Structure 1
Amino acid sequence: MESAAASALLKSVMGRLFMALEKEYSKHKGLAQETHSLQQDLRMIAAAMDDQLRVLGRNDARNAVARLHTEEMLDLSHDIEDCVDRFLHRLTCNNHKRGSGSNGAGPGASSMVRRMAHELSKVQSRSSFAEEIQKLKRRIREAHQRVMDIKSIVDVIAGGQPTTGAMSSSATAPCRNTCNPVGIGEPVEELLSLLDEVEGEPEQMRVISVVGFGGLGKTTLARAVYDSPGAKGKFSHRAWVTIGTSPERDSGILHALLQQVLPKDAIGVDGQHDLEALLKEYLKDKRYLIVMDDINMEQWSIIRSTFVDNGTSSRIILTTTIQSVANMCSHGNGYVYKMNTLGEEDSKTLTFPGFRSPELEQGSESLLGKCDGLPLALVSVSDYLKSSSEPTGELCAKLCRNLGSHLKERDGHYSFSELRKVLLDSYDSFSGYALSCLLYLGIFPNNRPLKKKVVIRRWLAEGYARSDSLRREEDIADENFSKLIDQNIVQPVDTRNNSEVKTCKTHGIMHEFLLNKSLSQIFIAKSSRDHPRLGINTNARHLSVHAGELTESVESDEELSRVRSLTIFGDAGHAICYVRKCKLIRVLDLQECNDLDDEHLKYICKLWHLKYLSFGSNISELPRSIEGLHCLETLDLRRTEKKFLPIEAIMLPHLAHLFGKFMLHRDDVNSVNKMTKLQKFFSSKKSNLQTLAGFITDESKGFLQHIGHMKKLRKVKIWFKHVAGSSNYIADLSQAIQEFTKAPIDRDIDRSLSLDSEECPENFLSSLDLKTCSEGSKYALRSLKLNGELHRLPPFVTLLSSLTELCISSATLTQGHLSALINLNRLLYLKLVAYKLVNFEIKHGAFPSLRRLCFVVKSVTSALPTIEHGALPNLISLQLLCQGLVGLSGIEIKHMKYLKEVTINSGVAIQWEQAAKNHPNRPKILILRKVNPMESEEPERPCAIREQREISVAQTTSLDDGLDSSLNKMRLSKPSSSRLQVFVHPVVITAT
Structure 2
Amino acid sequence: MAETAVSFALERVFQILTEETNLLRGTHKDFLGIRDELESIQAFLKDADRRAADEANTKAGIRTWVKQVREASFRIEDVIDEYLRVIHGVQHLGCGASICKITSLISTVTSRHQIATEIQDIKVSLSLIKERSERYKFQVSQEQQSSSNTEAIEGSRWHDSRMRSLFIEETEIVGFEFPKDELVGWLLKGTKEPTVISVVGMGGLGKTTLAKHVFCSEKVKRHFDCRACITVSQSYTVKGLFIDMIKQFCKETKNPLPEMLHEMDEKSLISEVRQYLQHKKYLIFFDDVWHEDFCDQVELAMLNNNESSRIIITTRMMHVAEFFKKSFPVHILSLQLLPPDKAWELFCKKAFRFELHGQCPALLEGMSDEIVRKCKGLPLAIVAIGGLLSTKSKTVFEWQKVNQNLNLELQRNAHLTSITKILSLSYDDLPYYLKPCILYFGIYPQDYSINHNRLTRQWIAEGFVQSDGRRTSEQIADEYLSELIYRSLVQVSTVGFEGKVKSCRVHDLLHEVIVRKMKDLSFCHFVNEGDDESATIGATRRLSIDTSSNNVLKSTNSTHIRAIHCFGKGEQLEPFMGQLFSKSRVMKVLNLEGTLLNYVPSNLGNLFHLRYINLKNTKVRILPNSVGKLQNLETLDIRNTLVHELPSEINMLKKLRYLLAFHRNYEADYSLLGSTTGVLMKKGIQNLTSLQNLCYVEADHGGIDLIQEMRFLRQLRKLGLRCVRREYGNAICAPVEEMKQLESLNITAIAQDEIIDLNSISSLPQLRRLHLKARLEKMPNWISTLEFLVKIRLALSNLKDDPLRSLEKLPSLLKVSIWDNAYDGQILHFRSGGFRKLKELYLARLDRVNSVLIDKGSLLSLENFIICKIPHLKKLPSGIEALDNLKVIDFRDMPTELVESIDPKKGQDYEIINQVPLVIIRHWIGPKLSDFEVRAIHSSSQKS
User: Smaller-chain TM-score range?
Assistant: 0.7 to 0.9
Matches within 5 A, 1:861-900: 868=857, 879-880=863-864, 889-890=881-882
Hey, what's the Cα distance between the residues in 1 that align with 2:558 and 2:731? 50
Q: What TM-score do the two structures reach when normalised by structure 2? A: 0.75
Contact 2:646 2:679 in 1 (8 A): yes
Hey, what's the Cα distance between the residues in 2 that align with 1:152 and 1:973? 66
Match of residue 637 from structure 2: 636
Q: 2:815 aligns with which of 831, 840, 844?
A: 831
Distance 1:28 1:633, change over 3 A: closer
Corresponding letter in the other structure for 1:560: S
Distance 1:856 1:641, change over 3 A: farther
Match of residue 206 from structure 1: 195
Corresponding letter in the other structure for 1:293: D
Q: 2:42 aligns with which of 42, 46, 52?
A: 46
Match of residue 342 from structure 2: 346
Report the secondary structure of 1:751's partner residue: coil
Distance 1:578 1:347, change over 3 A: farther
Hey, what's the Cα distance between the residues in 2 that align with 1:239 and 1:407? 37
Hey, what's the Cα distance between the residues in 2 that align with 1:741 and 1:928? 44
Report the secondary structure of 1:653's partner residue: coil
Match of residue 962 from structure 1: none
Distance 1:834 1:300, change over 3 A: same
Matches within 5 A, 1:592-741: 592-593=594-595, 595-598=596-599, 600-602=600-602, 604-615=604-615, 616-661=617-662, 675=683, 678=684, 682=686, 685=687, 687-698=689-700, 701=703, 705-706=707-708, 708-721=710-723, 729-730=725-726, 732-741=728-737
Match of residue 376 from structure 1: 380
Write the deviation string for residues 386-434 of structure 1: whole angstroms up to 9, x where unpaired. Answer: 3433453x555554554444445xxx21112321221221221235453
Q: Does 1:298 align with 2:293?
A: yes
Q: 2:137 aligns with which of 145, 148, 151?
A: 151
Corresponding letter in the other structure for 1:740: V
Distance 1:259 1:247, change over 3 A: same
Distance 1:63 1:538, change over 3 A: closer
Aligned CA RMSD, in angstroms, stands at 4.9
Report the secondary structure of 1:644's partner residue: coil
Match of residue 215 from structure 1: 204
Superposed displacement of residue 665, structure 1: 6.4
Write the deviation string for residues 101-152 of structure 1: whole angstroms up to 9, x where unpaired. Answer: 45x4xx7xxx3xx666544433322221122112222332333334332227
Superposed displacement of residue 810, structure 1: 6.3
Write the deviation string for residues 236-257 of structure 1: whole angstroms up to 9, x where unpaired. Answer: 3352423322454433323333
Match of residue 567 from structure 2: 569
Match of residue 188 from structure 1: 180
Superposed displacement of residue 225, structure 1: 2.5
Corresponding letter in the other structure for 1:374: L
Write the deviation string for residues 733-789 of structure 1: whole angstroms up to 9, x where unpaired. Answer: 34324422336xxxxx43212325498648967x53125x5xxxx642242223558
Hey, what's the Cα distance between the residues in 1 that align with 2:285 and 2:710? 60
Matches within 5 A, 1:69-80: 73-80=69-76
Hey, what's the Cα distance between the residues in 2 that align with 1:930 and 1:31? 71
Contact 1:520 1:535 in 2 (8 A): no
Q: Does 1:244 align with 2:227?
A: no
Write the deviation string for residues 846-902 of structure 1: whole angstroms up to 9, x where unpaired. Answer: 87xxxx64223579x996966759x99xxxx9745578899995467xxxxxxxxx7
Match of residue 901 from structure 2: none
Hey, what's the Cα distance between the residues in 1 that align with 2:692 and 2:182? 47
Hey, what's the Cα distance between the residues in 2 that align with 1:651 and 1:115? 18
Match of residue 319 from structure 1: 314
Distance 1:474 1:719, change over 3 A: closer
Q: 1:854 aligns with which of 839, 844, 851?
A: 839
Q: Could you tell which deviates more after superposition, 506-515 or 377-386? A: 377-386
Contact 1:460 1:477 in 2 (8 A): yes
Matches within 5 A, 1:95-134: 96-97=92-93, 100-101=94-95, 104=97, 111=99, 118-134=104-120
Hey, what's the Cα distance between the residues in 2 that align with 1:477 and 1:537? 29
Q: 1:786 aligns with which of 767, 771, 775?
A: 771
Match of residue 19 from structure 1: none
Distance 1:818 1:799, change over 3 A: closer
Q: 2:241 aligns with which of 221, 239, 253?
A: 253
Q: 1:843 aligns with which of 830, 833, 848?
A: 833
Match of residue 137 from structure 1: 123
Match of residue 393 from structure 2: 389
Report the secondary structure of 1:265's partner residue: coil
Hey, what's the Cα distance between the residues in 2 that align with 1:139 and 1:981? 72
Q: 1:755 aligns with which of 743, 746, 758?
A: 746
Q: Could you tell which deviates more after superposition, 707-716 or 519-528? A: 707-716
Write the deviation string for residues 591-615 of structure 1: whole angstroms up to 9, x where unpaired. Answer: 121x1112x4335454333211111
Distance 1:321 1:119, change over 3 A: same
Distance 1:175 1:84, change over 3 A: farther
Report the secondary structure of 1:513's partner residue: helix
Hey, what's the Cα distance between the residues in 2 that align with 1:793 and 1:566? 50
Match of residue 529 from structure 2: 529
Superposed displacement of residue 563, structure 1: 0.9
Distance 1:567 1:56, change over 3 A: closer
Hey, what's the Cα distance between the residues in 1 that align with 2:177 and 2:622? 57
Q: What TM-score do the two structures reach when normalised by structure 1? A: 0.72
Q: Report the identity percentage.
A: 23
Distance 1:686 1:862, change over 3 A: closer
Distance 1:490 1:163, change over 3 A: same
Distance 1:763 1:88, change over 3 A: closer
Hey, what's the Cα distance between the residues in 1 that align with 2:276 and 2:794? 59
Hey, what's the Cα distance between the residues in 1 that align with 2:919 and 2:508? 27
Match of residue 17 from structure 1: none
Contact 1:522 1:537 in 2 (8 A): no
Instruction: Name structure 1 gaps, 5 residues minimum.
Output: 1-25, 669-673, 724-728, 744-748, 893-901, 908-926, 934-966, 983-992
Corresponding letter in the other structure for 2:376: D
Write the deviation string for residues 186-208 of structure 1: whole angstroms up to 9, x where unpaired. Answer: 3223333444657xxx6654322
Match of residue 923 from structure 1: none
Write the deviation string for residues 439-480 of structure 1: whole angstroms up to 9, x where unpaired. Answer: 222111232311122111112212222599987544543343
* Higher relative contact order, chain-length normalized (CA < 8 Å, sep 6+): 1
Hey, what's the Cα distance between the residues in 1 that align with 2:937 and 2:734? 38
Matches within 5 A, 1:770-809: 770-771=760-761, 773=762, 779-786=764-771, 788=773, 794-798=779-783, 800=785, 803=788, 805-808=790-793
Corresponding letter in the other structure for 1:190: E
Superposed displacement of residue 509, structure 1: 0.6
Report the secondary structure of 2:255's partner residue: helix
Distance 1:207 1:161, change over 3 A: closer
Distance 1:714 1:116, change over 3 A: closer
Write the deviation string for residues 504-534 of structure 1: whole angstroms up to 9, x where unpaired. Answer: 1112111111112212333212222264649
Write the deviation string for residues 73-122 of structure 1: whole angstroms up to 9, x where unpaired. Answer: 4433222111222233344435543xx345x4xx7xxx3xx666544433
Hey, what's the Cα distance between the residues in 1 that align with 2:61 and 2:428? 12
Instruction: Name structure 2 gaps, 5 residues minimum.
Output: 1-21, 156-161, 353-358, 664-676, 820-825, 845-849, 868-875, 891-915, 939-944
Report the secondary structure of 2:522's partner residue: coil
Match of residue 421 from structure 1: 421
